[in-house]
Protein backbone atom coordinates (compact mmCIF):
# COMPACT_ATOMS: atom_id res chain seq x y z
CA UNK A 1 0.00 0.00 0.00
CA UNK A 2 1.42 3.44 -0.91
CA UNK A 3 1.69 6.38 1.50
CA UNK A 4 -1.45 8.05 0.13
CA UNK A 5 -3.71 5.02 0.32
CA UNK A 6 -5.50 3.68 3.33
CA UNK A 7 -7.84 0.77 3.83
CA UNK A 8 -9.81 2.77 6.39
CA UNK A 9 -9.95 6.15 4.71
CA UNK A 10 -10.39 8.20 1.59
CA UNK A 11 -8.18 10.63 -0.23
CA UNK A 12 -9.63 14.08 -0.89
CA UNK A 13 -10.41 13.07 -4.47
CA UNK A 14 -12.17 9.92 -3.32
CA UNK A 15 -14.14 11.92 -0.75
CA UNK A 16 -15.14 14.35 -3.49
CA UNK A 17 -16.33 11.51 -5.74
CA UNK A 18 -18.13 9.74 -2.90
CA UNK A 19 -20.07 12.85 -1.88
CA UNK A 20 -20.40 14.66 -5.22
CA UNK A 21 -18.57 17.63 -3.74
CA UNK A 22 -15.94 19.69 -5.54
CA UNK A 23 -12.40 19.33 -4.16
CA UNK A 24 -12.08 23.11 -3.77
CA UNK A 25 -15.30 23.15 -1.76
CA UNK A 26 -13.89 20.49 0.56
CA UNK A 27 -10.79 22.66 1.04
CA UNK A 28 -13.01 25.66 1.77
CA UNK A 29 -15.03 23.75 4.38
CA UNK A 30 -11.79 22.67 6.04
CA UNK A 31 -10.44 26.23 6.00
CA UNK A 32 -13.62 27.60 7.58
CA UNK A 33 -13.69 24.86 10.21
CA UNK A 34 -16.94 23.21 9.12
CA UNK A 35 -15.04 20.07 8.17
CA UNK A 36 -12.35 19.06 10.65
CA UNK A 37 -8.83 18.52 9.44
CA UNK A 38 -8.34 14.86 8.59
CA UNK A 39 -5.51 12.80 9.99
CA UNK A 40 -2.45 12.49 7.80
CA UNK A 41 -0.24 9.63 6.81
CA UNK A 42 3.45 9.71 7.66
CA UNK A 43 3.99 11.13 4.19
CA UNK A 44 1.54 13.95 4.88
CA UNK A 45 -1.40 12.77 2.78
CA UNK A 46 -4.86 13.55 4.15
CA UNK A 47 -6.99 10.51 4.90
CA UNK A 48 -10.69 11.18 5.38
CA UNK A 49 -12.83 8.89 7.50
CA UNK A 50 -16.45 7.83 7.18
CA UNK A 51 -17.25 10.52 9.76
CA UNK A 52 -15.81 13.17 7.40
CA UNK A 53 -18.01 11.88 4.57
CA UNK A 54 -21.09 11.88 6.80
CA UNK A 55 -20.40 15.42 7.99
CA UNK A 56 -19.70 16.64 4.46
CA UNK A 57 -22.99 15.15 3.24
CA UNK A 58 -24.75 16.95 6.11
CA UNK A 59 -23.14 20.26 5.12
CA UNK A 60 -23.99 19.77 1.44
CA UNK A 61 -27.61 18.90 2.20
CA UNK A 62 -27.96 21.89 4.52
CA UNK A 63 -26.55 24.13 1.77
CA UNK A 64 -29.01 22.61 -0.73
CA UNK A 65 -31.79 23.59 1.66
CA UNK A 66 -30.43 27.13 1.75
CA UNK A 67 -29.00 27.21 5.25
CA UNK A 68 -26.28 29.83 5.67
CA UNK A 69 -22.77 28.87 6.70
CA UNK A 70 -23.46 30.46 10.09
CA UNK A 71 -26.60 28.36 10.54
CA UNK A 72 -24.74 25.20 9.53
CA UNK A 73 -22.03 26.05 12.03
CA UNK A 74 -24.74 26.32 14.69
CA UNK A 75 -26.45 23.11 13.61
CA UNK A 76 -23.13 21.31 13.93
CA UNK A 77 -22.58 22.79 17.40
CA UNK A 78 -19.49 24.71 16.34
CA UNK A 79 -20.66 28.11 17.60
CA UNK A 80 -20.41 27.38 21.30
CA UNK A 81 -18.74 23.99 21.24
CA UNK A 82 -21.85 22.13 22.36
CA UNK A 83 -24.27 20.04 20.36
CA UNK A 84 -27.45 22.04 19.73
CA UNK A 85 -30.69 21.02 21.39
CA UNK A 86 -33.69 20.07 19.32
CA UNK A 87 -35.29 23.37 20.38
CA UNK A 88 -32.31 25.33 19.02
CA UNK A 89 -32.37 23.41 15.76
CA UNK A 90 -36.10 23.99 15.43
CA UNK A 91 -35.68 27.72 16.04
CA UNK A 92 -32.99 27.98 13.37
CA UNK A 93 -35.08 25.93 10.97
CA UNK A 94 -38.22 28.01 11.55
CA UNK A 95 -36.24 31.23 11.07
CA UNK A 96 -34.81 29.86 7.83
CA UNK A 97 -38.28 28.71 6.72
CA UNK A 98 -39.61 32.24 7.26
CA UNK A 99 -36.77 33.60 5.09
CA UNK A 100 -37.51 31.03 2.37
CA UNK A 101 -41.20 31.90 2.41
CA UNK A 102 -40.38 35.61 2.08
CA UNK A 103 -38.14 34.85 -0.90
CA UNK A 104 -40.91 32.77 -2.49
CA UNK A 105 -43.31 35.72 -2.16
CA UNK A 106 -40.72 38.02 -3.75
CA UNK A 107 -40.18 35.54 -6.60
CA UNK A 108 -43.94 35.29 -7.18
CA UNK A 109 -44.14 39.10 -7.45
CA UNK A 110 -41.23 39.10 -9.89
CA UNK A 111 -42.84 36.31 -11.90
CA UNK A 112 -46.14 38.21 -12.14
CA UNK A 113 -44.41 41.40 -13.23
CA UNK A 114 -42.34 39.61 -15.86
CA UNK A 115 -45.36 37.69 -17.16
CA UNK A 116 -47.43 40.89 -17.49
CA UNK A 117 -44.55 42.71 -19.17
CA UNK A 118 -43.77 39.87 -21.59
CA UNK A 119 -47.47 39.58 -22.51
CA UNK A 120 -47.48 43.27 -23.51
CA UNK A 121 -44.49 42.79 -25.81
CA UNK A 122 -45.24 42.03 -29.45
CA UNK A 123 -41.84 40.48 -30.04
CA UNK A 124 -41.64 42.12 -33.42
CA UNK A 125 -38.93 44.34 -34.86
CA UNK A 126 -40.43 47.62 -33.65
CA UNK A 127 -38.47 50.30 -31.77
CA UNK A 128 -40.90 50.47 -28.84
CA UNK A 129 -40.58 47.64 -26.33
CA UNK A 130 -42.74 47.33 -23.20
CA UNK A 131 -40.06 45.20 -21.51
CA UNK A 132 -37.46 47.94 -21.88
CA UNK A 133 -40.02 50.55 -20.82
CA UNK A 134 -40.75 48.57 -17.64
CA UNK A 135 -37.07 48.14 -16.85
CA UNK A 136 -36.47 51.85 -17.42
CA UNK A 137 -38.98 52.94 -14.78
Predicted local confidence at residue 8, as pLDDT: 67
Give 60-65's long-range contacts (Cβ < 8 A, gap of 24+).
60/19, 60/20, 60/21, 65/96
For 52-62, the pLDDT digits (tens) are 999 999 999 99
Question: Residue range 73-96: average pLDDT?
Answer: 88
* Range 1-66: architecture per CATH: Orthogonal Bundle (1.10)
Question: Residue range 7-36: average pLDDT?
Answer: 93
Query: Hey, how many other C-beta atoms are within 10 angstroms of the C-beta on 24?
Result: 9
Burial class (CB in 10 A: 0-12, 13-18, 19+), 136: exposed
pLDDT of residue 80 exceeding 90, the answer is no
Question: What φ, ψ does residue 10 adopt, rounded to 5°?
Answer: -120, 145
Question: Residue range 64-91: average pLDDT?
Answer: 89
Query: Hey, how many other C-beta atoms are within 10 angstroms of the C-beta on 35?
Result: 22
Question: Residue range 32-59: average pLDDT?
Answer: 94
Identify the band that residue 126 occupies on the pLDDT scale cut at 50, 70 and 90.
confident
Amino acid sequence: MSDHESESGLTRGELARATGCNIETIRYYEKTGLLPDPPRTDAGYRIYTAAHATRLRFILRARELGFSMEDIRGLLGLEDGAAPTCAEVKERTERHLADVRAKILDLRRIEATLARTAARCSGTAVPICPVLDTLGH
